[in-house]
A and B are shown apart, each in its own frame.
Chain A
């Protein structure tokens, strides 16, 4: 599969624990996006990377959230001190330099905070 991949696909954690998700974009895609999707809603933008630079963060991204893309390839999203309200599907998407508006999504990581 040469599409966007995410790991893990599912994560169950207890409130207060830290979790980290990984996203591997399509090869040669220099732009990478993180979204959050809750039940019955469309994806909501969290943050965006161009190569290794994090260029924009949504107000949805509280101080407990941090994202990195150290070598401009894969990215990680960490949530510290998880809360029940963090339960959601976390989606990653990537796009090409030449077609920057066309975003391709990964399968997502479904997080459940107990």
Chain B
């Protein structure tokens, strides 16, 4: 099955700096890569996703890059703010053989702390 590794497990940055979180996956059939933000005691919230037919996607201060050959993808947050502090999860998804289910395999998460 799919295996997703996420690094680092914790990341501390100063407000205004950039933060980068990296993930690798093992299954070449994976073609969908979402990132979720989870604040303490709250639900995981989708912040950005990328499909395997593109190499980069940007949404304001957040960007995701994908290298299919190397099987890794990264989340980039620029101009970080204290409210960016949370746990961030990457995931890799692929369709099952029947084509109906998109199973997501998650990384273990990165605790991002943005210091004012």
Interface residues of A (CB under 8 A from B): 3-4, 31, 40-45, 48, 50, 55-56, 91, 95, 100-108
Contact flags B37-52 to A (C-beta < 8 A → 1, else 0):
0000011111001010
5 residue pairs of the A-B complex, CB under 8 angstroms, read: A101-B49, A102-B34, A103-B34, A107-B43, A108-B43
Query: Is there an interface contact between A50 and B44, defined as CB atoms closer than 8 Å?
Result: no
Q: A4-B43, A31-B100, A40-B108 are in contact. List 10 more A-B contacts (CB 8 A).
A: A41-B108, A45-B105, A55-B98, A56-B96, A95-B102, A100-B101, A101-B49, A101-B102, A102-B46, A105-B45
Residues of B within 8 A of A108 (CB): 43
Query: Is there an interface contact between B43 and A55, defined as CB atoms closer than 8 Å?
Result: no
Residues of A within 8 A of B101 (CB): 31, 48, 50, 55-56, 100
